[in-house]
Amino acid sequence: MAHVLVIGGSGMLANTSRWLLEQGHQVSVVGRSEEKIRAIAEEKELAHLLYPIVVNYRNHKEFQEKVTAVAHQLGLAEKVIAWVHQPEEAVIDIVCKEALTSHGSFFHIVGSHSDAAALRTTTPVPETVDYHLIQLGFMIEQERSRWLTHVEISKGVIEAIRKKEQRKTIGVVEPWERRP
C-alpha cells in the first residue's frame, strides 16, 4: 500500500483523493477543513486509508510539523500531488525534504497564469524526484469560455497520474484573451 500526499485534496482535488483511496493507497490530505477531508472517505467507506492533515500550508512551521509526523507514521510518500498557490516554494521544499521519497513522483498543479516553462527550473524539487507539471486552463465552448469544473480538473489529474505524463495542460491556456 503506497502512501500518497495530496495538498489541496479536499477541494477541487477531492475526486482525485477519492480515486487514490479507491486504488488502495494510504492518502494523506492537506486541507484547512477536517470536515471536508473526512467527507472524501465517508462517501466510499474508505476512512481507514485516509489521514487528514488539517493545516494551512502557509503556516510553514505547523505545516512542516504535521507533514513530518504523518511521514513518520506512514512512511515517506511515494507520490505527492500538490495544488500550491505561487509563490510557495517553501511548501514544496518542506514536502520534498520531509515527506517524499528521494525517488518519488511530484505532480505539481499550477494555474493558467503560471509560466510553465520557467517552473521546472525554479521549483525546488530534487533531480532524483520524477517531476510532473499539470497546468490548469479553461474551456472554450462555441463563443463562450469558462473555468474548469472540479470534475474536469480531477479527471485530468488522474489521467496525468495514470499515464505518468511529464507535462499536461487541462483545458487550454491560449488564446489568453479568451479566458473567462
Q: How many whole angstroms separate alpha carbon 62 and alpha carbon 53?
A: 10
Instruction: Specify the CATH number for the domain of residue 59.
Output: 3.40.50.720
Q: Residue 136: give the domain boundaries.
A: 3-178
- Residue 63: which of 86, 97, 24, 38 has the closest Cα? 97
Q: Would you say 172 and 140 are in contact if contact means Cβ atoms under 8 Å apart?
A: yes
Digit-by-digit pLDDT tens for the chain (180 residues) are 799 999 999 899 999 999 999 999 999 999 988 888 888 877 667 888 999 999 988 899 999 999 999 999 999 999 999 998 766 788 989 999 999 999 999 999 998 888 777 777 777 788 899 999 999 999 999 889 999 999 999 999 999 999 999 999 999 999 989 989
Q: How many domains does the chain have?
A: 1
Q: Would you say 94 and 60 are in contact if contact means Cβ atoms under 8 Å apart?
A: yes
Instruction: Output the nine-digit C-alpha cell for 27.
Output: 492518502
For residue 87, the model assigns a pLDDT of 63
The residue count of the chain comes to 180
Residue type, 45: E
